[in-house]
Structure 1
Amino acid sequence: MNRFFNAGLLSVLIALITAGCATTSGTSVQEKRHAVLAMKEDVLTELYKLYPQARQEIASAPGYAVFSNANVNIIFASFGGGYGVVQEKTGKQTYMKMGEAGIGLGLGVKDFRAVFIFKNHSTIDRFIESGWEFGGHADAAAKASDQGSAVGGEALIDHIVIYQITKSGLVLQASVKGTKYWKDDELN
């Protein structure tokens, strides 16, 4: 019984730490929006350096999303949290949050960015309204600032091209995760 209590307490603590690491800076709504948009621009700049073809993919898409995410893996469980924005070609922006939990083998902490390029309007609408992703995940990363390396790249899932960029972390994981994206009521 004590072992389950300690594991539960550790899980809650990790979730709180992860949520704290993946929040926007600023105190006012305007400052928080500005921080999200600045993160978006920084991520796109890095994406275009790493994957030059992504610039044309975004230019021809009806919309895209950029997320910042922190993830913690402790042996059999993983937790993550983050924030981002969906940018539609019409100019409309929808600020969003994300959270994830998973089971599998893993150990470490990782800070990464994700860019989703939507292939049609119905996929954008479904993502904003439902925003649920579920799938297996395996990766390895050992990176601090510009030092080290990380395995990431590009995937196509349900009319969405997904690019992942690892910013920093030391992680080895193979897990099944559920990720939930939802509108940020405070920023929209």
Structure 2
Amino acid sequence: MRQTVLKSIWITFILLLIFVTTTAAASKEKQRAELRQKTTSTLKMLYEKQPSAKYAIEHAAGYAVFNNTGFKLGILGGSHGRGMAVNNRTGQEIFMKMQEYQAGLGLGIKEYAVVFVFANENAWTSFVEKGWSFGAQATAAASDGVTGDSLDGAVMVSPGVWVYQMTTKGLAAELAVKGTNYYKDKELN
């Protein structure tokens, strides 16, 4: 009798473990599929607003697309989001997160998308492997200063890295200093 009870408990434990593992894997794949769909729709919206971006992204070493939600209330604010980076040469997908902190005057909530374009493999690899943080160093110039390359409608944030930003929903008035971190999503990779 005792062995039967122990076997029943053991079988129940194994079945529960299989169920939890299968559910977690399905949930992760659902999240990945959602990020792929958001990436596709964000790129479509970018191409409608900035047609030259399609050629730039297709011919770049890689790109990353993030969909973010931000808030600003008084002197504090922040944003969070998820996205994915894609290596155009290998097809590799890296799922990532974004976190941003702000100090400055403002009020509002907004949803926005950020699209990074990486001119070379080193820029893409550095972004996905080391993560990336930046604040006020983004410049208004869209030229790399070396080859004369530029992307219409994009801002160069470092050598070989351009960014498009689009507000998708909401309105925010702000004057802020931001610290933004992009890093791998350990749960989805």
Q: Return the TM-score normalized by structure 2.
A: 0.75
Select the structure that is richer in strand: 1
What is the Cα deviation at residue 163 of structure 1? 0.5
Is 2:111 aligned against 1:111?
yes
CA distance, structure 2, for counterparts of residue 134 and residue 64 of structure 1: 17
After superposition, the C-alpha distances for 1:82-101 in whole angstroms (9 at most, x for unaligned) are: 00000101100000011010
Matched to 1:166, the amino acid is: T
Runs ≥4 residues deviating over 6 A: none
After superposition, the C-alpha distances for 1:108-129 in whole angstroms (9 at most, x for unaligned) are: 0010011100011111111112
CA contact (8 A) 1:136 1:174 kept: no
Matched to 1:184, the amino acid is: D
What is the Cα deviation at residue 136 of structure 1? 3.3
RMSD of aligned alpha carbons: 1.4
CA distance, structure 1, for counterparts of residue 54 and residue 45 of structure 2: 11
Q: Return the TM-score normalized by structure 1.
A: 0.75
Is 2:164 aligned against 1:171?
no
What is the Cα deviation at residue 134 of structure 1? 2.1
Unaligned runs of 5+ in 2: 1-25, 138-152
- The residue aligned with 2:60 is 61
CA distance, structure 1, for counterparts of residue 171 and residue 55 of structure 2: 32
Unaligned runs of 5+ in 1: 1-26, 138-152
CA distance, structure 2, for counterparts of residue 172 and residue 39 of structure 1: 26
Matched to 2:164, the amino acid is: Y
